[in-house]
Amino acid sequence: MSTKKEVKTAQILSDVVIKGLQEVKGMNIVNVDLTSIENAICTNFIICTGTSSTHVSSLANSAEKEVRTNLAEKPWKREGFGNSEWVILDYVNTVVHVFQEDARNFYNLDGLWADAKITKIKDL
């Protein structure tokens, strides 16, 4: 179970990530709160869709830049930039998933974690 401090820190990070995704027109952004899920691998997921490999890369880079600029943090791990169908930015307690639409539908993380609290973020 996450501590209150970890949850608050994850929420601040999530807000900054979401701002970065919105700046580059990320679509169908959701925040999946995993704090109520026993043995969850992190506090939350941010999931977003891009329209192409270029858009997915741009979204991930924007989120990463926003976090670096505002919170002086770098992801512990970043993967998927080779083909940019599914890019992951792992900030340990918060994991950002940026998908092309077909990959998002195929892996269905939204459905996989349906027991969690899922907050849909308005598209800008």
Q: DSSP states of 87-111 as a string?
A: EEEE-SSEEEEEEEHHHHHHH-HHH
CATH of domain 4-120: 3.30.460.10
DSSP string for residues in 10-76 = HHHHHHHHHHHHHHTT-EEEEEEE-TTSTT-SSSEEEEEEESSHHHHHHHHHHHHHHHHHHH----S
* Model pTM score: 0.92
| Residue 52 φ then ψ, to 5° | -160, 170
Per-residue confidence in pLDDT tens, the chain, 124 aa:
456 766 677 789 999 999 999 999 999 999 999 888 888 888 899 999 999 999 999 999 999 999 999 999 999 999 999 999 999 999 998 999 999 999 999 999 988 888 899 999 987 7
User: What is the distance, to the nearest Å, from the Cα of residue 104 to the centroid of all Cα atoms in its chain?
Assistant: 12
Residue ranges per structural domain of the chain: 4-120
